[in-house]
Amino acid sequence: MRDESFVHLRAAGTSLVLDRSGSGLPRVVHWGEDLGELPQDALAALALASVPQIAWNNVDVVVPLAVLPEHSAGWLGTPGLTGHRAGADFSTAFAVTSSRVEGGVVTVFAEDVTAELELRLEIELTASGLVRQRATVTSGAGPEAAPFSLSGVLLTLPVPERATELLDMTGRHLRERTPQRHEFTIGTHLRENRKGRTGTDAATVHVAGERGFGFRSGEVWGLHVAWSGNHRSLAERTHTAVALLGGGELLLAGEVALGAGESYTTPWIYGSYGRHGLDELAARFHDHLRARATHPRGPRPVTLNVWEAVYFDHDLDRLTRLADVAAETGAERFVLDDGWFRGRRDDHAGLGDWYVDEDVWPDGLHPLARHVRGLGLEFGLWVEPEMVNQNSDLARSHPEWILSTGDRMPPEARHQQVLDLGNADAYAYILERLDAIVSEYALTYLKWDHNRDLVEAGHGPTGRAGVHGQTAAVYRLLDELRSRHPGLEIESCSSGGGRVDLGILERTDRVWGSDCIDALERQRIQRWTGLLVPPEMIGTHVGAPRAHTTGRTHSLQFRAGTALFGHFGMEWDLTKATAEERAALAEWIARYKDLRGLLHSGAVVRGDHPDPALWVHGVVARDRSRAVYALVQVETSVTAPPGLVRLPGLDPDAHYRIAPLAPGDGIEGSAATALAWWAGGTTLPGRVLESVGVRAPVQYPERLVLVEAVRV
C-alpha cells in the first residue's frame, strides 16, 4: 500500500507541505514558495532534513510543532488548546484516528481518550494561495461528567528563521490601521482584542518577514484571524530556534463549556505568503474575496451618504435638494444616515426603536424614497441594530435584553448599551424590524453600524460572558437577512473602521474605512486597510473642503483623487458647493465610472519609494495592458526637486505610453513648465518604468496627481 504520509498542496505560487506520519497531529514541513512537483520520497526527505537535533537541557525527544501545539509533546511555548474538566485534563494528548484529502482540503480526526475530547482539523490551500485552517473540539464524555471548560484554541503556522521583522497594525477611532514594525525577537509578541468587535486597533494581518521587507520586496508571511469578536494573534520565537504565527478566538472565562456531545468550532485562521513583498501577500486576500460567489459583481455605484451634510437635521425639502444636486454630479446611490427613527434627534435616545419617526416623517420615508428613485438613484438606510439607548421604548420594556453581568449595567459608551442578540426574543425583534424596514422601502443598501466596544458583555440574568454568542448571533442575523433579501448590500461600519475582518466580510459588501475622511489621513488608512481588503470593498468618500474631524483644508483634487482608489462616494453638503466645485466633482465622478472596471478588478500595487514624503500607489489590469497610478505628496520632502519614481507591476517586456491623467493632471506652481515629459507623455518599456522610473512632478504638500500607463 502506498504511503501517503505527506501532503503537498500547491496554488498560485505557494506550497504547503504537511507531515501526517505517526499518530501525532499534523506538522507543517514547509509553507512558502512553490516547490514544484515532488514525489512522496522527496517529501519524506524534506521532512527528514528539517528535523532538528534534540535541544540541550530539554526533553529527550525531538519536539514536533503541530498546527495545534501540545504541552504533552514537549512543547513549552503557547499551547494550542487550553481548558479543563473540573480541574483535570488541562493538558491534551491527541492521537490521530483518521485523515483524508479531498479537493485540496486535508481533514484530520483525532481523540484524547483520557480527556474524552475529539478533534477535527481542516486545513486547505485556496486557489489564491491562502492557507486556511480551523478546528472543531467535541466533548465525548458522558452526561454524568463535568463539562469541559474551554479557554482557547490556537492554530499555528511556522515561519523560517530568516523572518526577523514583524509588522502589524494599531490605531484608534479616526486613525485606524497604523502600521508598527519591530524586531522578531525571542519571546511572544501577543496582540489581544477584548473589545467584543474586531477593534480600531486590531492587528489586522500579523506579518513576519525578511529584514527590510517592503511592498515589492522581501519574503513575508502573514496571519489573519477571521473573527469579529474577541480574538488574539501572536508571533512567537523560542530559544530552540522555532518561530511561528498563531491565532484564534479569545474566549472569556466560562464562555464555552462543552457538555456531552457539544462542539466548539474556531474561526478560520488565514495565512498568506509573499515571495516579493506585501503586495503579493495582499493580492492573495484580494483574489480570495473576489472569487467568492457573494462578491459584488456589478459596477460599484457612486454613493452619497448624508451624514456630514445634515447630521440629525432631517428635513424632506433639504434632503430632496441634496439628492437633486448629487444626481446632477453623477451619484447613483443615496443613503439616509442616522436620525430617521423615533426619538432620534441626537445620539442620546432612540436606538432600538426601529420605527420611522412620525413627527419628522409624517408620511414615512416614502416621499424621500420616491424622489430619490425618480432621479435614478438607489435608496439606502443607516441602522445600528446591535445597540440600544437606555432612553428608548425598547430598553424601558426589556432591560433584560441588554448585555450585562445581571446585577449592574456596564458603563455607557456613546450614550448606548449593547442589545443581547444571544437572547432569542431580542434576536427575533431585531430580525423582524430590519426585515420590515427593508421590505417596506425596497432597500438595496444598509449601512450597518456598531459604535461601541463591548464591556462586561454578559447574558443578562445569567451573568455569563456573552461575546462569543453575540458574535455568532450577528452572523446569523446577517445571513438570515440576506437570505430573505438576496439583492441587499450591507456595509460594515463600526465607529468607522472598527469591524474589518474576513468573518464580517463573508456577510457584507464593503467596509467603511474610517469615520475620518480627511484625505491625508485616508491615504494612510486606505493604504493599510488594503493589506486585507480590495479597493471595491473599501468605502472612500469625498468630504467637504474643510474636514469635519481634523479641521484640515484640502483641494478637491486631493480629496477626490484619494477617494478614487476605492468604492467612491461623497459625504458633503453639495447644496453649499460652488458651481465650479460641482462641475469639478462631476469630472472626477465621470473618471471614476470610466476607471472602476480596472480599479475594482486589477492588482493593487504600492511603490517602495525611498522618500517617505512621496507615496506611489496604483492598480494594474490583470492582463497588464493598462495601469493607473497616484503620485501623492503627503508632506514636504527634504530635497527638491524629487527624484525618479518607479511605477510597479507592469509587463517588463511590453512598451507603455505614460501620461498624466485628467482630472488629476494639474501641477500647481512653477512646476508646470519644469517637467519635460509631463505635457506630452512618453513611451518606455515596463522593465524601465519599474526599475528606473520617471521624474515625479514637483508638488506642494498634500497634493496628488494621476498617471496612466497604456500598453502600445
Q: What is the pLDDT of residues 153-210, one digit of tens each?
A: 999 999 999 999 999 999 999 999 999 999 999 999 999 999 999 999 999 999 999 9
Which run of H or E residues covers position 417?
A: strand 417-418
Segment 535-560, tens digit of pLDDT:
999 999 999 999 999 999 999 999 99
What would the grid cell of residue 226 be? 477571521
Residues noted as catalytic? 449, 515
The predicted structure's pLDDT at residue 407: 85
- What are the chain's domains? 6-290 (2.70.98.60), 303-601 (3.20.20.70), 604-711 (2.60.40.1180)
Could you tell me the strand order of the sheet in which 703-711 lies?
Answer: 603-606, 614-620, 626-633, 703-711, 655-660, 682-685
The predicted structure's pLDDT at residue 667: 67
Q: Is-contact 348 415, C-beta < 8 A?
A: yes
Mean pLDDT of all residues in 291-315: 97
Q: Is-contact 603 619, C-beta < 8 A?
A: yes
Segment 78-87, tens digit of pLDDT:
999 999 999 9
Question: Cis omega (within 30 of 0) on the bond before 663?
Answer: yes
Mean pLDDT of all residues in 494-509: 98
497 strand-pairing partners: 494
SS3 assignment for 447-476: EECCCCCCCCCECHHHCCECHHHHHHHHHH
Amino acid making up residue 240:
T
Mean pLDDT of all residues in 627-644: 93
Q: Is-contact 7 30, C-beta < 8 A?
A: no
CA distances from 22 to 19, 59, 87, 550, 656 (A): 9, 19, 30, 60, 56
The predicted structure's pLDDT at residue 134: 98
What would the grid cell of residue 542 be? 469625498
CA distances from 566 to 534, 544, 670 (A): 8, 18, 31
CB count in 10 Å sphere of residue 61: 9
d(CA 94, CA 24): 7
CA distances from 54 to 158, 161, 233 (A): 18, 18, 28
Residues sharing a CB contact under 8 Å with residue 586, sequence separation 6 or more, in sequence order: 328, 329, 330
In terms of DSSP bridges, do strands 644-645 and 220-225 run parallel, antiparallel, or are they unpaired? unpaired
Mean pLDDT of all residues in 583-603: 98
CB count in 10 Å sphere of residue 701: 12
Q: Which of 621, 700, 614, 710 is nearest to 661 (CA)?
A: 710
Q: Name the percent of the chain lying above pLDDT 70.
A: 98
Instruction: Look at residue 670 and tell me whether its pLDDT is greater than 70.
Output: no
Segment 414-438, tens digit of pLDDT:
999 999 999 999 999 999 999 999 9
The predicted structure's pLDDT at residue 116: 97
* Secondary structure (DSSP) of 218-235: S-EEEEEE--SSSEEEEE
| Maximum alpha-carbon separation in the chain | 86
For residue 675, name the pLDDT band (cuts at 50, 70, 90): confident
d(CA 498, CA 228): 9
For residue 640, name the pLDDT band (cuts at 50, 70, 90): confident
* Secondary structure (DSSP) of 78-138: S-SEEEEBTTB--S---EEEEEEEETTEEEEEEEETTTTEEEEEEEEE-TTS-EEEEEEEE
d(CA 148, CA 140): 10
d(CA 358, CA 342): 7
Segment 194-246, tens digit of pLDDT:
999 999 999 999 999 999 999 999 999 999 999 999 999 999 999 999 999 99
Q: Is-contact 500 511, C-beta < 8 A?
A: yes
**Rounded to the nearest 5°, which phi and psi values hold at 249?**
-75, 145
Instruction: Look at residue 497 and tell me whether its pLDDT is greater than 50.
Output: yes
Cα distance between the two ends of the chain: 57
The predicted structure's pLDDT at residue 1: 34
The predicted structure's pLDDT at residue 674: 67
Q: Which of 702, 553, 690, 692 is nearest to 615 (CA)?
A: 702
Q: Which of 331, 327, 315 is nearest to 592 (CA)?
A: 331
